[in-house]
Amino acid sequence: MDSYPPPNYVMLNKNQDSLRPPPYRRNVPRYQDHNKSGKSCCFRCICCCYCCLFLLVFLSAAIFLFVFAFYKPKVPEYSVDSVSVDAFHVEKDFNLFARIAVNVKADNPNEHIAFKYGQDNSVSVMYSGTNLCAGKFPGFKQPEKNVTMIKMLLQGNNEFGSGLQASLMENRHSGRIPLLVKVKVPVKVEIGILKLRKVDVFVNCSLVLDNLQPDKKPRILSSTINTHVDF
């Protein structure tokens, strides 16, 4: 009688239905999402930069408020103290040769703030929109609570047409000659050992003189000062 090979399965009876094959367990590998990790790192860097920027702005504002409250800074006051004419005549080529000395008074009312005026400045005297003479003054440092006289010797040889000559002659006869003195100077503000950045100061002084004769000292009839600071 032929023998059959053993079956590939096992038959269970009713009493053996509690027998179950053990579950097949294995550890499923998990992979880290590098893209998500990179985005999180970038977000943290951005937040850190914004926090540093906010802190810098906050500290700058706090320092500014402290300086303003403690030192009480004031803008220096400027005025034209005197004007003298060394030369003022029309030459053969109808150019006007002028040499004028202008003394400007700078008053620093601050008790703890000094100003350093740079030598890269420019000064000009104009009549009816035409430049008469120009020049500059040496740089200097103005200490606290100080009044300084700035002496400016200006010279020019510029075209002066017949229309301007007629207008100037009319003003001479009336005894009221309008002039404009324009000053541009770089200034550094110094508060103790703290030196702030340089700013440009523009001073426009509208004058009315009674004469422009070299042998007679002009008298200032009126003066209006406008000061502008370019940060």
**What are the tokens at 219?**
């008298």
**Contact criterion met (CB below 8 Å) for 142 and 108:** yes
pTM over 0.85: no
**What are the tokens at 95?**
């150019």
Share of the chain above pLDDT 70, in %: 83
Sign of the torsion angle spanned by Cα atoms 186, 189, 190, 195: negative
> What distance in Å separates the CA atoms of residue 113 and residue 45, rounded to the nearest whole number?
40
- Cβ-in-10-Å burial (0-12, 13-18, 19+) of 71 comes to middle
Residue type, 207: L
Question: Residue 131 falls within a domain, yes or no?
Answer: yes
- Cβ-in-10-Å burial (0-12, 13-18, 19+) of 138 comes to exposed
Question: Residue 177 falls within a domain, yes or no?
Answer: yes
Question: Residue 25 falls within a domain, yes or no?
Answer: no
Domain CATH number, residue 212: 2.60.40
* Backbone φ and ψ of 26, nearest 5°: -155, 155
Domain that holds residue 189: 77-230
3-state secondary structure of 133: strand
- Residue whose entry in the numeric block shows the structure tokens 């008074």: 105
Question: Residue 63 falls within a domain, yes or no?
Answer: no
Question: Residue 47 falls within a domain, yes or no?
Answer: no
Question: Residue 38 falls within a domain, yes or no?
Answer: no
**Contact criterion met (CB below 8 Å) for 218 and 175:** no
Question: Residue 68 falls within a domain, yes or no?
Answer: no
For residue range 190-223, list pLDDT tens digits in order. 988 888 889 999 999 999 999 999 989 999 999 9
- Residue whose entry in the numeric block shows the structure tokens 């850190």: 48
For residue range 51-106, list pLDDT tens digits in order. 898 888 888 788 777 777 787 889 899 999 999 999 999 998 889 999 999 999 99
Question: Residue 190 falls within a domain, yes or no?
Answer: yes
How many distinct structural domains can be found in the chain? 1
